[in-house]
Copies of this chain bind each other. A is one copy, B any other.
């Protein structure tokens, strides 16, 4: 029961915006009026409005009022994948048929770079995983993942499903990720695996994942076929 007053109010106002009860570009009632309507203090209204503002649904102008933002409709085509959410295919293609082919599953000691990036001790081994991912039986991406073995025991069965779901169930939550994106020409080997011609443009995403305590727990590189994958990103500047 995650039931706080401000969350309740937040949901109700949000619904009112979505159902066009509060019209885009128009003023919301004053915070005072809302406070009366919901029988709470103005501070609580403000908290709810702050959530809406963070979600880009409204904006406030001091001395003038609170306005509803016109709806910017995200990514209408399901082809476009959000770049600001976990890379795993499972999150994006909810309704599609996902398959993972495991090309490599091994454990070894980390390289110097890996040890540094994952903040490991000399005694900590890592899993070294390569997977080819299919969406609706079509080759979709190639992933290389490094995870310390101490994070969680992993087997091939898990790797055929969603790794993030598995880790999530064990209490490990991704809260931050650091990504580096680059366009490259596919090497011969990459092209072979992705069933494309050599030198076809691919999108490469290097990622470090962090948990809530900012401890790194995964290092990965994913590559996608350029003309088959679009990534979208909504930037918000303060």
Contacts and interface: CB of A to CB of B under 8 A. Distances in A.
Contacts of A201: 183-185, 201-202, 226
Interface residues of A, number: 48
Q: Chain copies in the assembly? A: 2
A178 interface: yes
Given A176-B236, A178-B234, A213 B67 contact: yes
A192 interface: no
Contacts of A80: 180
Most buried by B among A72, A184, A200, A235: A235
A17 interface: no
Interface string A171-195: 0001111111111110000000000
Nearest to A61: B212
A206 to B, nearest CB: 9
Nearest to A223: B183
Interface in A20-35: 25
A214 B175 contact: no
Contact of A235 (B85, B182, B199): B85
A56 interface: yes
B178 A232 contact: yes
Interface of A: 25, 56, 59, 67, 69-70, 72, 80, 83-86, 174-185, 199-204, 210, 212-215, 224, 226-227, 229-238
For the complex of A and B, the 10 pairs showing the least CB-CB separation, nearest first, are A183-B226, A183-B183, A183-B203, A201-B201, A69-B214, A177-B235, A183-B201, A179-B233, A181-B231, A185-B201
